[in-house]
Chains A and B, each alone.
Chain A
């Protein structure tokens, strides 16, 4: 079932864990310093690229969290979109953004529990198909609701996050990425890690061993969707405008999946590195190619599966087993 065949972990290799932590630390120091650099007159543009790189990092890492429990989801765009729409609607109802943000995320998390409860018994491709269909249907529903409710096909206007202060928005995104990394590390270091790995490698066996599969699968779904919804809130607040076609676009399910596989599945560092590389590549390509820049994602996904199944993180832990963070 798993993309990477994982042998039973022997003794943990602390050397690699420290290196991964060090790399994460360096990433955050650099990311924190970025908005304070003298960026010249392209400052706004660079900050925007930085912002969306962080959002992509949150999406990829939260997708990876779910994948660790063996659930390869194509519904990430749905929770991203539900976060964005929930936030916009709560603001419209008169809530302050500080309240709307967590409430929107929790709302998406609640819906994910409903979806998770239904798709729980599905595995592999059945799960993927069901989640893909779920995304399409959420989009259809929002598009067909009366315009006064959720804007219909025309979309909704959203007030700018933090009054449109680019540096503030960037730092908020960075803080949420830090939260995501914190959750990911906490999962990795707690018994959740072992439960997820057991479920992923063989649900029947895990159940026999006494892992309460239902509870852990739902926990993974909830954590992952709340974080994806937070990414959606950031997106809505940054672009001022959300529409069903853009927000629930298949691209928003594909990029986290590709990013995470390219960076290194089931790790904390991998999805973040992947997001940095792919997002910057995407921006560079976006300038030259107007349409179809997702070609890169398709290509990267195919090449990673064929030749680099352990991602870029796997390159420097070649031959090592276990101890990955």
Chain B
């Protein structure tokens, strides 16, 4: 029983990061209408920036987090200006391939400049753990989860309680209608896309503490984020939370109860994508 509860807890904690990555992606898909295949690479940039701040300045990743988020927000805004903006009206295929190209470019630039090694960040609380009755929680995991929850709460507050959020949701529902009532659609797109990149970067900082920074660290998270937003339904932000928890917990269950589960848990997201897509396509509601 304790093993089961421990597994559920681990899955839940893991889902915080997933939700962070996926809600960023959902913002880009839902508001801007761009499926950003380079989303994982913005996460990777965040992880590397946190590592660089920690290695050169001795700054704790959780302290450098706001600066890193802001920096990647800027990179995202720039990316929108020079590339995304020009394919907004192009066929979906072109948008997809453009972001795909961007992802390959960023990933391999990192590989070229920094090499393929994984970089770890060491923090004093890395090995610490909390004891909750019979259950143990890794310190960094708990901190990362707390950060993710706080940020998601902030995101939902902005989306549902502020003018900017209302504008974003209006643009997501109907681009032309939003334009007609005087919303600056281009500005909303810019902010939404940059915010989506910023969220990825925050997740990246947390990943650098939990795992490591490496040029390819983003891909797996991006794939899982795709699984989550596909399961939630494109652009459905509340669904993202439930789907993240579902993915995190099922992965943890596979890890604990399937023999040799460590390797197989990476296939869980695929089954979820496939199951949802197939189910949905056969029901005929896409």
Q: Which residues of A contact B (CB under 8 A)?
A: 1-3, 5, 72, 118-119, 121-126, 128-130, 132-134, 136-137, 140-141, 143-144, 250, 254, 257-258, 261, 289, 291-295, 297-302, 305-306, 309
The reply to whether A294 and B108 contact each other, CB–CB distance below 8 Å, is: yes
- Among B62-70, B183-191, B272-280, the stretch that binds chain A is B272-280
Decide yes or no: A306 and B87 within 8 Å by CB, A122-B281, A140-B263, A295-B112 being known contacts. Answer: yes
How many angstroms between the C-alpha atoms of A197 and B116 in the bound complex?
42
B52 at the interface (CB under 8 A from A): no
Decide yes or no: A140 and B230 within 8 Å by CB, A1-B93, A3-B97, A305-B97 being known contacts. Answer: no
How many angstroms between the C-alpha atoms of A293 and B107 in the bound complex?
11
Decide yes or no: A292 and B103 within 8 Å by CB, A3-B94, A125-B35 being known contacts. Answer: no
Question: Quick one: closest B residue to A299, CB to CB?
Answer: B105
How many angstroms between the C-alpha atoms of A292 and B113 in the bound complex?
8
What residues on B are CB-neighbors of A143 within 8 Å?
Answer: 263
Decide yes or no: A133 and B94 within 8 Å by CB, A295-B105, A302-B101, A302-B102 being known contacts. Answer: no
The reply to whether A292 and B108 contact each other, CB–CB distance below 8 Å, is: yes
Among the listed A2, A133, A301, A302, which residue makes an inter-chain contact with B273, where contact means beta carbons less than 8 Å apart? A133
The reply to whether B267 and A305 contact each other, CB–CB distance below 8 Å, is: no
Decide yes or no: A292 and B264 within 8 Å by CB, A2-B91, A124-B92, A129-B273 being known contacts. Answer: no
The reply to whether B97 and A301 contact each other, CB–CB distance below 8 Å, is: yes
Interface residues of B in 97-136 (CB under 8 A from A): 97-98, 100-113, 115-116
- Among B7-15, B145-153, B194-202, B219-227, the stretch that binds chain A is B219-227
* 14 additional contacts (CB under 8 A) given A125-B96, A291-B111: A3-B93, A129-B226, A129-B273, A133-B270, A136-B266, A140-B267, A291-B115, A294-B107, A298-B105, A301-B97, A301-B100, A305-B87, A305-B90, A306-B98
How many angstroms between the C-alpha atoms of A129 and B103 in the bound complex?
14
B161 at the interface (CB under 8 A from A): no
What residues on B are CB-neighbors of A261 within 8 Å?
Answer: 97
The reply to whether B270 and A3 contact each other, CB–CB distance below 8 Å, is: no
A92 to chain B, nearest CB (A): 23
How many angstroms between the C-alpha atoms of A17 and B265 in the bound complex?
51
Q: Which residues of B contact A (CB under 8 A)?
A: 35, 83, 86-87, 90-94, 96-98, 100-113, 115-116, 215, 219, 223, 226-227, 230, 260, 263-264, 266-267, 269-270, 273-274, 277-278, 281-282, 286
B6 to chain A, nearest CB (A): 24
The reply to whether A140 and B264 contact each other, CB–CB distance below 8 Å, is: yes
B181 to chain A, nearest CB (A): 29
The reply to whether A1 and B91 contact each other, CB–CB distance below 8 Å, is: yes
Question: Quick one: closest A residue to B41, CB to CB?
Answer: A298
B117 to chain A, nearest CB (A): 10
Decide yes or no: A257 and B97 within 8 Å by CB, A1-B92, A2-B91 being known contacts. Answer: yes
Among the listed B83, B107, B109, which residue makes an inter-chain contact with A302, where contact means beta carbons less than 8 Å apart? B83
Question: Quick one: closest B residue to A301, CB to CB?
Answer: B101
How many angstroms between the C-alpha atoms of A3 and B94 in the bound complex?
6
Decide yes or no: A144 and B281 within 8 Å by CB, A133-B223, A292-B112, A301-B101 being known contacts. Answer: no
Among the listed A126, A293, A309, which residue makes an inter-chain contact with B230, where contact means beta carbons less than 8 Å apart? A126
The reply to whether B278 and A118 contact each other, CB–CB distance below 8 Å, is: yes
Most chain B CB within 10 A, of A132, A254, A289, is at A132
How many angstroms between the C-alpha atoms of A118 and B113 in the bound complex?
40
What residues on B are CB-neighbors of A3 within 8 Å?
Answer: 91, 93-94, 97
What residues on B are CB-neighbors of A297 within 8 Å?
Answer: 101, 104, 108
How many angstroms between the C-alpha atoms of A130 and B278 in the bound complex?
10
How many angstroms between the C-alpha atoms of A5 and B104 in the bound complex?
26
What residues on A are CB-neighbors of B273 within 8 Å?
Answer: 129-130, 133
Question: Quick one: closest B residue to A67, CB to CB?
Answer: B93
The reply to whether B274 and A298 contact each other, CB–CB distance below 8 Å, is: no
A122 to chain B, nearest CB (A): 6
The reply to whether B223 and A298 contact each other, CB–CB distance below 8 Å, is: no
A29 to chain B, nearest CB (A): 33
How many angstroms between the C-alpha atoms of A121 and B270 in the bound complex?
17
Selected A-B contacts with CB under 8 Å, 27 pairs = A1-B92, A2-B93, A72-B96, A72-B97, A122-B277, A123-B286, A126-B281, A128-B96, A129-B226, A132-B223, A133-B226, A133-B274, A137-B267, A140-B264, A143-B263, A254-B104, A257-B100, A261-B97, A295-B109, A297-B108, A299-B101, A299-B105, A300-B101, A301-B98, A301-B101, A302-B105, A306-B98
Among the listed A5, A119, A136, which residue makes an inter-chain contact with B270, where contact means beta carbons less than 8 Å apart? A136
Decide yes or no: A72 and B108 within 8 Å by CB, A140-B266, A258-B101, A291-B115 being known contacts. Answer: no
